[in-house]
């Protein structure tokens, strides 16, 4: 099924369902109804049913869903049952946090190497991942057929680093730099916009009235 045929909001909700289902499984619960998931997750129950159907989950109106079955189906649909190898560039505080962050392999990405322009960082290991110098990037990316790049460099280095990634065969960039990248058609980008998210939070807080931030 092509992504174009699955609405983006569905793709955004499926990982939330997944995480909730994983919690149920860890708590030892075998069965769950779409209605219950809808209530807990604050999504309308017809929407939950539609989303699950789009992911290929079979409806079971009377008995409810088997938790393990739902998990396996969503994992397969999101390709979380397989892994993409990724290179990370920018071993600053955010890059280091991602290298230490648990659960990426379960979410379908394995960071197989990290890179930084600071040659003093080369040779270090962060978590399980070795840091290499930038001059090794292209040859390694090509040799290992790396398709995913994780961009955690400062804003001013983001475009040049993204260009290097694309020039090395990378086709999907997870961008943490607060910069809109200018990339060739066909290159896939997901921007993780920390500052935008914070801005929204503060703006909504301020609009909610009683606690305008102090000047």
Residues 81-100 that bind a second copy (CB under 8 A): 81-84, 92-94, 96-97, 100
Count the residues of the shown chain that bind a second copy, applying the rule CB under 8 A.
73
Q: Is 24 in the site for a second copy (CB under 8 A)?
A: no
Q: Is 42 in the site for a second copy (CB under 8 A)?
A: yes
Q: Is 72 in the site for a second copy (CB under 8 A)?
A: no
User: How far apart, in whole angstroms, are the C-alpha atoms of residue 200 and residue 131?
Assistant: 34
Residue for token digits 């694309």? 166
Report yes or no: 88 and 101 within 8 Å, Cβ to Cβ: no
Cβ at position 169, least distance to a second copy in Å: 9
Site for a second copy in 126-185 (CB under 8 A): 145, 147-148, 155-156, 171-174, 178-180, 182
Distances, alpha carbon 70 to alpha carbons 12, 55, 82, in Å: 16, 9, 17
Residues 6+ apart with CB under 8 A from 191: 175, 180, 181
Residue 192: CB atoms within 10 Å: 16
User: How far apart, in whole angstroms, are the C-alpha atoms of residue 17 and residue 71?
Assistant: 9
Cβ at position 198, least distance to a second copy in Å: 5
Among 143, 184, 185, 211, binds a second copy (CB under 8 A): 211
Tokens read off for 188: 């896939």
Please, which residue, 4 or 63, has the CB nearer to a second copy? 4
Cβ at position 8, least distance to a second copy in Å: 8
Please, which residue, 62 or 182, has the CB nearer to a second copy? 182
């Amino acid at each position: 099924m092509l992504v174009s045929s699955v609405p983006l909001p569905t793709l955004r909700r499926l990982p939330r369902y997944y995480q909730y289902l994983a919690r149920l499984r860890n708590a030892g619960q075998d069965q769950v109804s779409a209605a219950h998931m809808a209530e807990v997750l604050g999504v309308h129950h017809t929407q939950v049913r539609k989303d699950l159907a789009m992911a290929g989950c079979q409806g079971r109106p009377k008995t409810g869903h088997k938790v393990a079955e739902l998990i396996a189906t969503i994992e397969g649909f999101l390709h979380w049952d397989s892994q993409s190898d990724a290179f990370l560039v920018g071993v600053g505080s955010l890059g280091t946090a991602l290298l230490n962050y648990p659960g990426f392999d379960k979410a379908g990405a394995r960071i197989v190497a990290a890179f930084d322009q600071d040659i003093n960082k080369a040779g270090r290991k962060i978590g399980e991942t070795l840091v290499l110098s930038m001059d090794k990037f292209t040859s390694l990316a090509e040799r290992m057929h790396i398709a995913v790049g994780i961009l955690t460099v400062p804003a001013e280095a983001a475009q040049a680093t993204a260009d290097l990634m694309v020039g090395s065969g990378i086709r999907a960039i997870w961008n943490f730099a607060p910069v809109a990248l200018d990339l060739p058609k066909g290159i896939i980008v997901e921007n993780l916009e920390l500052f935008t998210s914070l801005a929204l939070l503060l703006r909504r807080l301020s609009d909610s009235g009683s606690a305008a931030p102090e000047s």
